[in-house]
C-alpha cells in the first residue's frame, strides 16, 4: 500500500507539472470587484468583495467571455484543474477561443469574509463520499449505483485515504448559510463584474445555480446565456435529502422580477404535478396557470443539465420545466442521453470532464450568437 501511495504521489507531481502551463494568453491575472467598508469594533473591514481570476487567449474567437461560478464549499479551483492533475474547464474553454473569468464567491476562498454575513461551516468527509465521490457504495438515491467517473485508482476510489479524494477534500472550504445571503452577495458582485467586463455567459454549478438567475435578473442586457450544471433545486422545496420548503421565489431564495409583478413570494401560486415524468424522478412543483413570467430572463438561452448518477438526476428536470413555464428558453439535457455516462455531481473534475465541456461548447456554438 505504501509503495502504491509513493508511486501515485510521483505520478501526481509529474501530472501537475505537465498541466501547470496555461494556453498562450494575451493576458492572465486577477482582479477584485464589488465590496464595501463596514464598521466593526476594531475599525473598518471590506465585505462583499469578489476575487476574479481571468485567462484571455491570444486569439479570442468567441463573442462573449464565460464567467465560471463554483458551488457550495468549493472555490474557483473546481475549474482551473482537477484533483488528479488534469486540464480544467477554464483552460479548455480558453483553447476554444473564449476569455474566461473564474470567481471565488464572496465570503469564500480568496474573497475574504468580514465575519458578519452569515453562518460558515464545512462539509465533512463523510458527506462528500456519500454524495459526490463514492456514491455507488452508499446508494442513497436510485441512480447512485451508476457512478463510475470519480478519478483515482485502486479499491478505495472516492474514499478517504485515496490520494485523489484527499486532494479533493483538501480543497474544500467553508460554505455560507443561509443561501439567501450568498444570493444577495453574488447578485451584487456578479453585477459589478459584468459592469466591468461587459456582456458574458454565466456558467454555474450546484449551489451557485440560483446566482445565474439573480445576476441575469439584475443585468438582463449583459447576460447572453446561462449554463446551469446541476443547479440548486428543485423549485419551492428540497428533494432526496429532505422535503423542507426552499426557494420560495421558485428557483431562488431572494426576489426575482415577475410579470405580473410579485411583492411577496406567497403570491406565486403553485401546484404539484399529478405524476412524475418517469421512474425514480420526483413530481415537480410548478406554478399554477396562468404562470407568471420571469421577464428579465425571457429569450435568454439557458442550458440545464444533470449527470446520470447524481442526486440531481432525480429532480433537475423540474428546474428546467419551471423556467420554461416562466417564459425562459431553457434546454434540458441528461448526460446519459448524449452518451456521457456514469457521472456524479462533480462533473467538472471527473474522469470524462472534457467530454462534458465539449457538450457545453457544442451547445454554446449553436445557441449563443
Q: What is the pTM of this model?
A: 0.92
pLDDT by position in tens, the chain (length 369): 434 443 444 344 434 433 444 555 568 999 999 999 999 889 999 999 999 999 999 999 999 999 999 999 999 999 999 999 999 999 999 999 999 999 999 999 999 887 656 677 889 999 999 999 999 999 999 999 999 999 999 999 999 999 999 999 999 998 888 899 999 999 999 999 999 999 999 999 999 999 999 999 999 999 999 999 999 999 999 999 999 999 999 999 999 999 999 999 999 999 999 999 999 999 999 999 999 999 999 989 999 999 999 999 999 999 999 999 999 999 999 999 999 999 999 999 999 999 999 999 999 999 998
C-alpha 197/C-alpha 199 separation (Å) is 7
What is the CATH class of 2-228+295-367?
Answer: alpha beta
**285 with 271: CB under 8 angstroms?**
yes
- Residues forming the active site: 206
For residue 223, give the nearest of 205, 202, 251 by alpha carbon: 202
Is 106 in a helix, a strand, or coil?
A: coil
Phi, psi angles (nearest 5°) of residue 162:
-75, 135
Terminal Cα distance for the chain, rounded: 53
Going from N- to C-terminal start, the domains of the chain cover 2-228+295-367
Q: How many CB atoms lie within 10 A of CB 121?
A: 10
Outline where 2-86 has alpha helix (H).
2-19, 77-80
* Total residues found in the chain within this entry: 369
Integer Cα distance of 315 and 284 in angstroms: 8
Give the E-state strand segments of 34-174 in sequence order: 36-40, 43-47, 50-57, 66-69, 100-104, 119-121
Amino acid at each position: 500500500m505504501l509503495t502504491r501511495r509513493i508511486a501515485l504521489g510521483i505520478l501526481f507531481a509529474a501530472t501537475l507539472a505537465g498541466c501547470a502551463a496555461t494556453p498562450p494568453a494575451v493576458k492572465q491575472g486577477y482582479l477584485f470587484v464589488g465590496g464595501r467598508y463596514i464598521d466593526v469594533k476594531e475599525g473598518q473591514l471590506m465585505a462583499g468583495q469578489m476575487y476574479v481570476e481571468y485567462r484571455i487567449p491570444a486569439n479570442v474567437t468567441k463573442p462573449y467571455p464565460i464567467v465560471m461560478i463554483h458551488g457550495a464549499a468549493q472555490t474557483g479551483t473546481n475549474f482551473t484543474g482537477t484533483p488528479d492533475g488534469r486540464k480544467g474547464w477554464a483552460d479548455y474553454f480558453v483553447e476554444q477561443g473564449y476569455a474566461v473569468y473564474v470567481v471565488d464567491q464572496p465570503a469564500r476562498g480568496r474573497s475574504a469574509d468580514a465575519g458578519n454575513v452569515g453562518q460558515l461551516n464545512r462539509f465533512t468527509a463523510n458527506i462528500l463520499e456519500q454524495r459526490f465521490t463514492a456514491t455507488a457504495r452508499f446508494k442513497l438515491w436510485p441512480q447512485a449505483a451508476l457512478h463510475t467517473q470519480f478519478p483515482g485508482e485502486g479499491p478505495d476510489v472516492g474514499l478517504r485515504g485515496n490520494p485523489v479524494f484527499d486532494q479533493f477534500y483538501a480543497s474544500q472550504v467553508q460554505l455560507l448559510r443561509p443561501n439567501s445571503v450568498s444570493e444577495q452577495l453574488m447578485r451584487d458582485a456578479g453585477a459589478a463584474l459584468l459592469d466591468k467586463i461587459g456582456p458574458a455567459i454565466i456558467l454555474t454549478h450546484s449551489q451557485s445555480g440560483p446566482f445565474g438567475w439573480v445576476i441575469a435578473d439584475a443585468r438582463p442586457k449583459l447576460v447572453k446565456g446561462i449554463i446551469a450544471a446541476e443547479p440548486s433545486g428543485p423549485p419551492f422545496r428540497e428533494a432526496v435529502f429532505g422535503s423542507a420548503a426552499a426557494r420560495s421565489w421558485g428557483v431562488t431564495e431572494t426576489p426575482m422580477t415577475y410579470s405580473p409583478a410579485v411583492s411577496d413570494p406567497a403570491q406565486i401560486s403553485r401546484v404539484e404535478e399529478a405524476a412524475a415524468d418517469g421512474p425514480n424522478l420526483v413530481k415537480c412543483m410548478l406554478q399554477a396557470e396562468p404562470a407568471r413570467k420571469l421577464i428579465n430572463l425571457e429569450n435568454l438561452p439557458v442550458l440545464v443539465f444533470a449527470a446520470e448518477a447524481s442526486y440531481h438526476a432525480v429532480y433537475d428536470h423540474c428546474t428546467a420545466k419551471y423556467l420554461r413555464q416562466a417564459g425562459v428558453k431553457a434546454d434540458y439535457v441528461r448526460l446519459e442521453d448524449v452518451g456521457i455516462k456514469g457521472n456524479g455531481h462533480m462533473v467538472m473534475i471527473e474522469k470524462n470532464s472534457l467530454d462534458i465541456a465539449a457538450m457545453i461548447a457544442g451547445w454554446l456554438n449553436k445557441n449563443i450568437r
